[in-house]
Amino acid sequence: MKQFPIRILIAKPGLDGHDRGAKVIARGLRDAGMEVIYTGLRQSPQMIAEAALQEDVNIVGLSILSGSHMTLVPAIRAEMDAMDLASVPLVLGGILPDEDQRALLDGGVSAVFGPGAGLGEIVSTIEQLCARPADQTT
Amino acid sequence: MRAASRSDNVNFEDIRAGDRRALSRFLTLVENSRDVVAEELAELSRRADDHQIIGVTGPPGSGKSTLIAALTKLYREVGRTVAIVAVDPSSPFTGGALLGDRIRLKALAGDKGVFIRSMASRGSLGGLAWRTQDVVRVLAAAGFNIVIVETVGAGQTEVDIAGLSPTTVVVQAPGAGDDVQANKAGLLEIADILVVNKSDLPGAERAKNALKAMLDLGHPTKAKAQDQPIWVPPIVLTSAIEERGINDLAECIASQFSYMQKHGLLVAFQEAQLRAEFMHRLRETLQRRLFDTFTAEEFAGIIRRMVQERIEPQRAVDQLLQNVEFRRRK
């Protein structure tokens, strides 16, 4: 049984003008054997959900540094759910206060990675979230 | 990860009716599986209405994605729907890939008349992925008027696109080399239309002249080899980022396509495509069946012996195959 690479969308929502973090993660996930679709900067919730739909990704990773996560992330989750993508997990990287993290984890975000999170931890969390059924066709 | 199996029910009516989720999931099945969707693909191919396939190739950074964005915008203005398949390379070491073509296609987001799918090449070396042909077929059957295929950044030999799209646009940027470079075999030979993009940069005219000199020396080897009427590739100067020259490019694409139709070349192209695909699938299937007859230990054993006993690779292959029976030619 051959496994196919995990397909992940890495997106930068909102008005951040800084995507070094997203690029480091995209590169790290590529080197971990994933197919990483990177959208670039300044994506609206609709654009991100639509890209996730068209690319049929297994998981979506967001990078947010702007502080607007409590507005943007629920909006992205809602857009994705409305497009029949409720089963696609959402993970988050950025600088978020603890209480916001808890609220987001309760509201449909599967994992949050703060400053200092190791790439190994991020990769293994993503792999677990995309845990693959055994009937993968070769 | 989602499984590529029949349990993911494919509803063609949904796909034909414009259900993007159904389309997207089916494309994953097509990309990941070899046999299971063969019948479904055949069914879809029969239903494909009139559509046009345009291949865009050229070196990394020559502006393929930006050019495709500008061209798509133009097609949308006249009401044509467009699907884009963008291929980027997979790592030969990890199998991972960074698919970044959507960045340049951002302006097309939110338009329901556009569908963009990124593909990793997954070990295919011809500039496309193994399943790009099938993905294009599905998008055409889904009802898109135009399907644009962007290859990986091409060097000189990634020419598979010429077998997939009846119209191949080869994009160059200024500063790509002298007229001897322009006369080398490979990528430039497959062009139906030559584009010098980034014409806002110095050297664009010079690049155009080098290409023109190349054509003057008797370019279309492809057509001559097949004894067909000769279409001489036009050379178009564009600046995708400033959206200049895009109208000219669209006109060249349209006239090349009607030339193909007028001379019956589309039919010939499709026949050649079927032949090539047959051979490709025959090789792939033979290889799989043959490999399936050996255990991993047999493989490991012969390779170990080859290394330790310094057996020539060809002799090792012969030894491995000596007990395999092939039907004799009648």
Q: What is the pLDDT of residues A9-48, one digit of tens each?
A: 999 998 888 888 899 999 999 999 999 999 988 899 999 9
Which residue does chain B place closest to A43, by CA atoms?
Answer: B106
Reply yes or no on whether the pLDDT at A137 is more than 50.
Answer: no
Place of tokens 């984890």: A105
Burial of B303 (0-12, 13-18, 19+ CB in 10 A): middle
Residues of chain B with C-beta less than 8 angstroms from the C-beta of A50: 109-110
A:B CB pairs within 8 Å: 111
pTM (two decimals): 0.87
What integer is the mean pLDDT of B107-121? 92
ipTM of the complex: 0.88
Reply yes or no on whether the pLDDT at B277 is more than 90.
Answer: no
Q: What is the reported pLDDT for B247?
A: 96
CB contact under 8 A, B103 and A39: yes
CA distance, residue A34 to nearest chain B CA (Å): 4
Per-residue pLDDT band at A84 (split at 50, 70, 90): very high
A111 vs B: CB within 8 A: no
Mutate to test the interface with B, among A7, A35, A83 (most CBs of B within 10 A): A35
Residues of chain B with C-beta less than 8 angstroms from the C-beta of A56: 2, 24-25, 27-28
CB contact under 8 A, A133 and B3: yes
CB contact under 8 A, B117 and A54: yes
How many Cα atoms sit within 13 Å of A82 on the Cβ side? 11
Per-residue pLDDT band at A135 (split at 50, 70, 90): very low
Distance, in Å, from the CA atom of A38 to the CA atom of B17, rounded to the nearest integer, reads 29
Tell me the average pLDDT of chain B. 86
Alpha carbon B92 to its chain's center: 19
In this structure, of B68-72, B82-86, B136-140, the range with the lowest mean pLDDT score is B136-140
CA distance, residue B266 to nearest chain A CA (Å): 30
Distance, in Å, from the CA atom of B271 to the CA atom of B166, rounded to the nearest integer, reads 12
Q: What does the radius of gyration of chain B's CA atoms come to, in whole angstroms?
A: 22
- Give the 3-state secondary structure of residue B52: strand
Distance, in Å, from the CA atom of B147 to the CA atom of B137, rounded to the nearest integer, reads 9
Distance, in Å, from the CA atom of B112 to the CA atom of B114, rounded to the nearest integer, reads 5
A87 vs B: CB within 8 A: no
Distance, in Å, from the CA atom of A21 to the CA atom of A19, rounded to the nearest integer, reads 5
Distance, in Å, from the CA atom of B276 to the CA atom of A22, rounded to the nearest integer, reads 41
Which tokens belong to A91?
């993970």
Which tokens belong to B323?
């007990």
CA distance, residue A138 to nearest chain B CA (Å): 6
A78 vs B: CB within 8 A: no
Q: DSSP assignment, residue A43? A: B
Residues of chain B with C-beta less than 8 angstroms from the C-beta of A39: 102-103, 106
Closest Cβ opposite residue A5 in set B3, B7, B95? B95
Closest Cβ opposite residue B117 in set A55, A132, A135? A55
Backbone dihedral region of B84: left (phi > 0), alpha (psi from -120 to 50 degrees) or beta? beta
What integer is the mean pLDDT of B198-211? 91
B21 vs A: CB within 8 A: yes
Residues of chain B with C-beta less than 8 angstroms from the C-beta of A38: 98-100, 102-103
Do B144 and B135 form a contact (C-beta atoms < 8 A)? no
Reply yes or no on whether the pLDDT at B7 is more than 90.
Answer: no
CB contact under 8 A, B4 and A5: no
- Give the 3-state secondary structure of residue B237: strand
The tens digit of pLDDT for each residue in B314-328 reads: 999 998 888 888 887
